[in-house]
Amino acid sequence: MSEIALEAVGLVRRIEGAISHTLVNGIDLAVDKGEFVAITGPSGSGKSSLLYLLGLLDAPSEGEVIICGQPTSKLSENERAKVRLTRCGFVFQFHFLLPEFTSLDNVLLPMRAAGRLSEREMRERGLELLASLGLKDHANKRPNQLSGGQRQRVAIARALSNRPEIIVADEPTGALDTTSTEQVFAILREIADQGRTVVVVTHDPALAARADRRMHIVDGKVHQTLAGRGQAELEAAAPTET
């Protein structure tokens, strides 16, 4: 079988407090390299919480996230930051670009933070990325000079800049119009087809249907898993089966 890029084992995320709350309640998941997984579910079901765990933005209360074979639960905060910087790109619903910087500078930021390429190489790669996402003419514009769709594409370019194995996106099209939604989804699909692993949270069943697999989450648990691109067939899913 194909190589597993992202794996979650018995993932639990609890909020301890006066009223304790379980956001993610025992999720197992294994995503192959180059696979495109869509996560759906009602609002408040724990989709974002799961994604933060998968993207190492948050640490689980129990369980383990394994990225490209590397368990992450014992990593220090700085080591987790390094994994986020180089192996796992995150795209949010809101673009979260730095407002004072141009598109290109925003895309360059993770590369500069990683410091692995020369100034010239970084620029070339940044411009290439922007061009590949249809933003050739917008490299020197600031976020407030761009449309919502354009901003989100800059954010995707930024997530891709250090060539991460995995892209995680939390409702990346949630705030976009139909045309932009279509573009962004096509881009994500293409990213997966190029061999990267993509996990996307979406509300849109039509979009979810274009994923290789979709996972429906209710109350922090996997409710069902649906397989196949564009196929509507439903499979009852045992959470451990994947």
Partner 1 sequence: MASNLLLDIAWTHVTTRVRQTLVGMAGVAMGVGFTIMMAGLMQGSQIDFLRQLVDTMPHVTVQDERRTAPPQPADQEYGAVQMSNVANVNARPGIRYPESVMASLRSWIPGDVAPSVKTTAIIDHGGRIGVTLVGIDPRQEIKVSKLASQMREGQITDLSRAPNAIIIGQALAEKLAVKPGNTVALIGGEGTEISSTVAGIFRSGLKRVDEGQIYALIGTAQVMMGQNGIINELRLRLNDPLSAENIASEVEGQTGYKSVSWEEANSDLLSSFAVRDFIVLTVMGAMLLTSSFATYNIISTITNEKRQDIAIMKSLGMRESSVRRIFIIEAAIIGVVGILFGWIMGYLLCYSWSQITIYNTLTGTTVPISIYYSPMHYIVAGGISLLSCTGAAFFPARKATRVHPVEIIRGAS
Contacting residues toward partner 1, per CB under 8 A: 48, 52, 57-58, 77-78, 81-86, 90, 92-94, 96, 98-101, 109-110, 112-115, 158, 170-171
DSSP, residue by residue, 44-62: TSSHHHHHHHHTTSS--SE
Crossing angle for the helix pair 103-114 and 77-86, to the nearest 10 degrees = 130
Report the amino acid identity of residue 123.
R
DSSP letter for 140, please: T
Residue from 6, 25, 36, 49 that binds ligand ADP (CB under 6 A)? Answer: 49
CB of 94 to partner 1, least distance (A): 6
- What value does the CA radius of gyration of the chain take, rounded to a whole number of Å? 18
Question: How far is the C-alpha of 55 from the C-alpha of 168, rounded, in Å?
Answer: 6
Work out what residue 46 binds among Mg ion, ligand ADP, partner 1, none; the CB cut-off runs from 5 to 8 Å by kind.
ligand ADP
Cα angle 72, 77, 82 (rounded to 5 degrees) comes to 75
Q: Is 157 one of the binding residues for ligand ADP (CB under 6 A)?
A: no
Write the CB contacts of 111 (distance below 8 Å, at least 6 apart in sequence): 117, 122, 125, 126, 161, 162
Q: Is 47 one of the binding residues for ligand ADP (CB under 6 A)?
A: yes
DSSP letter for 124, please: H
Per-residue tokens: 222: 């996997």
Q: Is 44 one of the binding residues for ligand ADP (CB under 6 A)?
A: yes
Work out what residue 45 binds among Mg ion, ligand ADP, partner 1, none; the CB cut-off runs from 5 to 8 Å by kind.
ligand ADP
Question: How far is the C-alpha of 242 from the C-alpha of 237, rounded, in Å?
Answer: 8
Give, for 240, the enclosing helix (H) or strand (E): none
Q: For tokens 């192959």, name the residue.
A: 32
Q: Give the binding range for Mg ion (CB under 5 A) out of 43-51, 141-149, 183-191, 203-211.
A: 43-51
One character per residue 114-143, x = contact with ligand ADP (rule: CB under 6 A) = ------------------------------
Nearest to 12 by CA among 48, 59, 45: 59
Between 49 and 102, whose beta carbon lies closer to ligand ADP?
49
Question: How far is the C-alpha of 170 from the C-alpha of 172, rounded, in Å?
Answer: 5
CB of 93 to partner 1, least distance (A): 5
Between 14 and 142, whose beta carbon lies closer to ligand ADP?
14
Q: Is 45 one of the binding residues for Mg ion (CB under 5 A)?
A: no
Q: Is 48 one of the binding residues for Mg ion (CB under 5 A)?
A: yes
Between 57 and 218, whose beta carbon lies closer to partner 1?
57
Work out what residue 58 binds among partner 1, Mg ion, ligand ADP, none; the CB cut-off runs from 5 to 8 Å by kind.
partner 1
Handedness of CA 59, 175, 44, 222 (dihedral sign): negative
Under the rule (CB under 6 A), what is the footprint of ligand ADP? 15, 21, 23, 41, 43-49
Under the rule (CB under 5 A), what is the footprint of Mg ion? 48
